[in-house]
Amino acid sequence: MAATDWTSKANGALRRYRVMAWVTGVMLLVLVAEMTLKYLVQAGPELMRWIEWVPFAHGWIYVVYLVTVVDVWSTLRWGFGRLAAMVLGGVVPVMSFVVERTVHRDGLAQVAVGRPAPRGASRTRVP
């Protein structure tokens, strides 16, 4: 693969990941609010019927997030520690925002070099 092809593929993967990390993070916060209303506040059925869709939406959004995680991870040839941190980013509230910032910064630095790391040689710091 030519360097320019890889660069455009990496930039696209980073852009998609960034969008999905933010969407997943916001939906996870909405899910936490929904669960708080449901289990701690014990909101009545008249309120819950308006927000009962949140867990399902977050679940499907998380699946799309995982696809973008695998895409950027395999494109940039990062290690398994980075993959685990990125996967957990969509499960732990607020973590997706922190991980996204680190992934985006490190990804752009790697794209600036113009080539992927050798397979398995990338031992970048895990966020």
The pLDDT value recorded for residue 106 is 94
Question: Per-domain residue ranges for the chain?
Answer: 3-113
Residues 6+ apart with CB under 8 A from 34: 51, 54, 55
In angstroms, the CA 116 to CA 106 distance is 12
Query: Which one-letter DSSP state was computed for residue 124?
Result: P
Residue with tokens 């696209």: 12
At 23, which helix (H) or strand (E)? Answer: helix 3-35
Crossing angle of helices 54-76 and 80-89, in 10° steps, is: 160
- Say if residue 67's pLDDT is above 60: yes
Amino acid letter for position 24? T
Distance CA 18, CA 107 (A): 11
pLDDT tens-digit profile of 1-31? 566 788 999 999 999 999 999 999 999 999 9
Q: Nearest Cα to 17, choosing from 109, 86, 88?
A: 86
Q: Has residue 125 got a pLDDT over 70? A: no
Q: What pLDDT is recorded for position 126?
A: 46
Name the pTM for this structure: 0.84
Confidence (pLDDT) at 61:
97
